[in-house]
Amino acid sequence: MTLSTLLIVALGAALAGFVQGLSGFGFGLTALSVWAWVIDPTLAAFLSVAGSLGGQLVAAAKVRRGFDLPLLAPFILGGLVGIPLGVALLPRLDIDWFKAILGGLLVVWCPAMLFARNLPRITGGGRAADTVVGLAGGVLGGLGGFTGVLPTLWCTLRGYERNKQRNVIQNFNLSMLLAIMVAYLASGVVRPSMLPTLAVVLLAMLVPTLLGTRVYAGISETGFRRLVLGLLTVSGVTMLASALPKLA
């Protein structure tokens, strides 16, 4: 790997680390929007999961929001079922179509929520609905570390205040990423040649992640909701920008 490629990988990791420290999610979406242009998709997926896991461990140490087992259990159980499905789909999926569809949904739905005067809230479905959302998050996680996208959107629709949402997303992501890393190791996705690049990612993201957690402490409820929806929108735009030229 050339020096210029390593610098781009480090830049993507630094940006993603800050976003994850600030919001509790988004490492994979941010990093892959940079890495997709320069490195192999399988390597990018591994680095995304490993970097997300490292960032979650740092953020969990700095921003502790407890572990509410009754609240978290449906998400985590669903996610654990979804992870093997995502890992199995990874080598078979057309990643450009995947990014185009998911990106399109985010670009349409999140701005509508961002500018809505009265944000719609979902109160029905109970734990069964939470389990389905967790399963979908697990599938997306197995495809490249996107564990937090749908659960974050779901928590926003549920109307959770920011600390409750951070509790769900941070602990869900941490649980899922640990399981995904085990699945990657067991399935042979991880190769020794990937480890030097992983070291670059972990070093580049450490300080930005810590800075992000410090900024989070000063954000209001309204500001946090806008931040989350804005980040999801930007993530959708970057997905479309990387996928549509290839599909065209």
Condensed to tens digits (0 to 9), the pLDDT of residues 83-92 reads 888 878 877 7
The CA distances from residue 147 to 58, 177, 200, 211, in Å, are 17, 8, 22, 22
Beta strands in 125-190 (DSSP E): none
Q: How much is the pLDDT for 113?
A: 73
Q: CA triplet 204, 205, 208: central angle to 5 degrees?
A: 110
What's the mean pLDDT when you consider all of the chain? 84
Q: Which of 35-39, 115-119, 145-149 has the lowest mean pLDDT?
A: 115-119
Q: How much is the pLDDT for 103?
A: 82
Report the sign of the C-alpha dihedral through residues 51, 52, 57, 60, in that order.
Answer: positive
170 contacts: CB under 8 Å, gap ≥ 6: 24, 56, 59, 60, 63, 65
Above 90 in pLDDT, residue 149? no
Q: How much is the pLDDT for 238?
A: 78
The listed range with the strongest mean pLDDT (1-15, 53-67, 111-125, 211-225) is 1-15
The CA distances from residue 161 to 69, 214, 222, in Å, are 17, 19, 9
Q: How much is the pLDDT for 145?
A: 64
Average pLDDT over residues 64-74: 79
- What three-state secondary structure class fits 246? helix
